[in-house]
Amino acid sequence: MKLEKYIAQLLYRYQCVTVPEFGSFLTEIRSAKLQPSTSTFYPPKKVLSFNALLKKNDGLLIHHISQNAGIPYNDAVKLVQQEVSLWKNTLEDQRVIDLKGIGEIHLNPENNLFFSAVENTNYLTESFGLAPIVSPIIRRNYTQEISSQEVKEKVIFEEEINQPVVVPIDSNPRKVYPFIKYAAAAIILLGLGFFANNYYGNRIDQQTLLVEKSVQEEIHNRIQEATFVIENSTTSVTLTLKEEKLNYHIVAGAFREESNAEQEFLNLSNQGYKARKLEKSKYGLYPVLYGSYTTYEEARENIREIRKSNPDAWLLIQEL
């Protein structure tokens, strides 16, 4: 029996898949990342790890095999035991267990199990169909455009600078004096016009200020005399609060007998946990939860503390 096929199916749906008397495969969600050296974008994924200490049968894998293979629960237990026995023999012979689509397991020099996960399989269903993307290098060339009008003005300006200015000098001084008289008269007239324009502008500004002041006073008086009537002042307002979803759950265990599940629920409640006892699952078990959380980070922090007293606790990601 290819046990890795059933393990892989469960890894898409659950955070922890336990192989009884062997160990547990764990998944951790990792956000999308950018590799600057290669300009490659990697989508979010589930990163696999293995814990040889979590080997207690939680019923998840056995029930999954029983349902999919169409065999009784006890027969599924025997098949898993036979497969685990073959795995242990392989490790004793210093060989590698190759789990297709999951990874490889072998013994390290300290005689401990070492797991190496495959890189090309992503068990995060939200990232289905997403592949790494390599972004081409973007090079920007900055050019400054000069319009034809600016070029023309620049040429004219340079020509005017380079062209010498010639001032004619008349040898007859009598012809110069009348010109000076006319220029002086023109300057006087321009000065008078400028003074008159300023004086007229100041008068207009003063009149404008007076009008604006009068309008402001009129508006102020009307506001003070106004009477406001507000109808339906007691209109009720209904606020709808969005309920937070608790999709991350720490599972204490799953029990075949409801009485045992009820006893575990009472024990956890007495210890101060916000425990929950779920309805009977399709596998015929009654799961009992330590609690439910809104974010993965919050659940991960709590499960680390819980595993100090219960190493078999595991994380379930599911909308209940």
- 131 and 2 fall within a common domain: yes
Is 69 inside a domain boundary? yes
Residues spanned by the domain of 12: 1-135
Q: Tell me, rounded to whole angstroms, the distance of Cα 222 from its chain centroid.
A: 54
- 129 and 255 fall within a common domain: no
Using the 3D structure, point to which of 109, 135, 161 is the last residue of a domain: 135
Residue 256 has pLDDT above 50, yes or no: yes
Q: Left if phi > 0, otherwise alpha if psi is -120 to 50, otherwise beta: which for 260?
A: alpha
Assess contact for 80 and 61: CB atoms under 8 A: yes
Using the 3D structure, point to which of 76, 102, 135 is the last residue of a domain: 135
Closest CA to 136 of 271, 49, 38, 210: 38
Residue 237 has pLDDT above 50, yes or no: no
Total number of domains constituting the chain = 2
Is 121 inside a domain boundary? yes
Q: Per DSSP, what are the bridge partners of residue 49?
A: 26
Q: How buried is 55 (Cβ within 10 angstroms: 0-12 exposed, 13-18 middle, 19+ buried)? A: middle
Where does the pLDDT of residue 36 fall: very low under 50, low under 70, confident under 90, or very high at 90 and above?
A: confident
Is 283 inside a domain boundary? yes
Going from the C-alpha of 44 to that of each of 99, 116, 120, 159, 230, the distances in angstroms are 23, 19, 13, 66, 55
Using the 3D structure, point to which of 120, 135, 150 is the last residue of a domain: 135
Predicted confidence (pLDDT) per residue in 74-107, tens digit: 999 999 999 999 999 999 888 999 998 899 999 8
Average pLDDT estimate for 28-45: 78
Is 187 inside a domain boundary? no
d(Cα 63, Cα 45) in Å, to the nearest integer?
Answer: 26
Predicted confidence (pLDDT) per residue in 265-317, tens digit: 999 999 999 999 999 888 888 999 999 998 988 988 999 999 888 888 888 88
- 127 and 252 fall within a common domain: no
Question: Which CATH number covers residue 287?
Answer: 3.30.70.1070
Is 39 inside a domain boundary? yes
Is 68 inside a domain boundary? yes
Is 209 inside a domain boundary? no
Is 17 inside a domain boundary? yes
- 131 and 249 fall within a common domain: no
